[in-house]
Chains A and B, each alone.
Chain A
């Protein structure tokens, strides 16, 4: 069993009367891809937001390598090695592709970055490598806003690669990608897990889940209903019924 990099216990958060997350416990082991699966509104993105400090949890804890992270600000969590992507990408639209990725390598918020020109060259190399790995090298000087859909998704991944985090929280990173792009995306994930990165991804397409993940956590109504090997979870008829919305009282 590999080391658990990120662990949450009983995270909960309500919005008004709605219990969006009702006690989610997750463990992300190094070198594994954990998929968060569940119907819309199951609390998947909210769980991410609770871990990253974008939302404050009503109760529960989370740790990175045993260090408690509840109450930390998003940038503090990020500096502990968490990188996340957003469903709506949130690229730095009006600067170039290269600058998007460079920005991910520069975390000091002071007038200049520490380490002088040597560190700067290292950051530039990291950025270049991330662009190479995501196939964006040729587009380095284009503005992010001018990219095509799949390129934008890969740019979002390039930022995460360049950030050199070892915990990745990816919110629907593969949605809308064609088969070829999905294969390339799968290679990115495998290269990362081979380096020991712990990945958690939210994904709706169950084929993609089966293809990419090592474990699945099935969320419904803010709870983890089941957790385990992809094949076992995906074949469970009760879960499938929930996933495909066959609950009569829930017909919306």
Chain B
């Protein structure tokens, strides 16, 4: 039971990082990316390769993962600078589909469909450590950073671009730079989450980085409430506890738990959008949902 809880807590921390960083671009910059799992994946592969090829230092793995994912985030920033709204969602979906193919085919880097196996246990300064404390520390750091950025001038810049891009530009804001930075920050964070994920499971393959995963993270953000600080974390806790909750229901066959889980969160997304678009934590009087 403790092992089970430790595993769940580690996953909550990792997905909390993903949800918090996605929330940053969705809720504050208005960049609706459905490709967050791509950068999660890039970080996971990069971190795993560091551990496999060099040495399993967790900090080094996270650093390299952040650089790889943050650097390649230009692939997402580019369309974000060109188009908005539906067009951008379409572009990010396209990116997600291409990346999934790439992850399955670029065998030298990703190990193909089979993935990367036998990733060694992580160490910090040569001492073996558990992933849970690392993940919790990373989550705390990311939450602290996003909170600082969201409440400070940078968050204000992003919000002003989201609400009226041309007016923000007319006040001297370099919209392209701000958007690119926001995307790079969020994707670097997702990369760190990915490295921790790889070290935690000691195995990664493309199935963790598909569109379904991107949608799951998106669901965490939405169900928790976009633009809030704690919403995404609560969304992550809810959606990750869901499968184990469902496993206790005797009438659901074990093979269908995954499907039932997806049905539950799909339904939750739709119903929330119809009845409570600001999410569970979002304040309706302040959220995007007011008329």
Contact = CB atoms under 8 A, between A and B. Distances in A.
Do A and B touch, yes or no (CB under 8 Å, in the complex)? yes
Interface of A: 52, 54, 73-75, 78-79, 83-84, 86, 90-95, 99-100, 102-104, 106-113, 143, 145, 159, 163
Q: Which of A84, A94, A107, A163 has the most CB of B within 10 A?
A: A94
B288 A94 contact: yes
B98 to A, nearest CB: 29
A183 to B, nearest CB: 26
Given A95-B159, A103-B157, A159-B171, A109 B166 contact: no
21 contacts: A74-B166, A74-B170, A75-B173, A75-B174, A83-B171, A91-B164, A92-B167, A94-B162, A95-B160, A95-B163, A99-B156, A103-B159, A103-B168, A106-B156, A108-B153, A110-B177, A110-B181, A112-B152, A112-B154, A145-B290, A163-B172
Contacts of A110: 154, 177, 181
B153 A112 contact: yes
A181 B159 CA distance: 29
Contact of B178 (A78, A79, A95, A109): A109
Contacts of B178: 109
A19 to B, nearest CB: 24
A102 B157 CA distance: 10
Given A106-B153, A112-B153, A91 B167 contact: yes
A190 to B, nearest CB: 23
B149 interface: yes
- Dominant SS among interface residues on chain B: helix
A182 to B, nearest CB: 23
Nearest to A81: B172
Interface of B: 149, 152-154, 156-157, 159-160, 162-164, 166-175, 177-178, 181, 185, 286, 288, 290
B169 A74 contact: yes
A51 B195 CA distance: 49
Contacts of B162: 94
Nearest to A95: B159
Contacts of A74: 166, 169-170
Given A74-B169, A79-B172, A113 B153 contact: yes
Contacts of B169: 73-75, 78
Contacts of B172: 75, 78-79, 107, 163
A106 B159 CA distance: 13
A111 B174 contact: no
Nearest to A80: B172
Contacts of B167: 86, 90-92, 159
A111 B153 CA distance: 8
A84 B170 contact: yes
B170 A109 contact: no
A107 B178 CA distance: 11
B149 A111 contact: yes
Given A94-B163, A95-B163, A112-B153, 19 more contacts: A73-B169, A74-B169, A74-B170, A75-B172, A75-B174, A78-B169, A79-B172, A86-B167, A90-B166, A90-B167, A92-B159, A94-B159, A95-B159, A102-B153, A103-B168, A107-B171, A108-B153, A143-B286, A163-B171
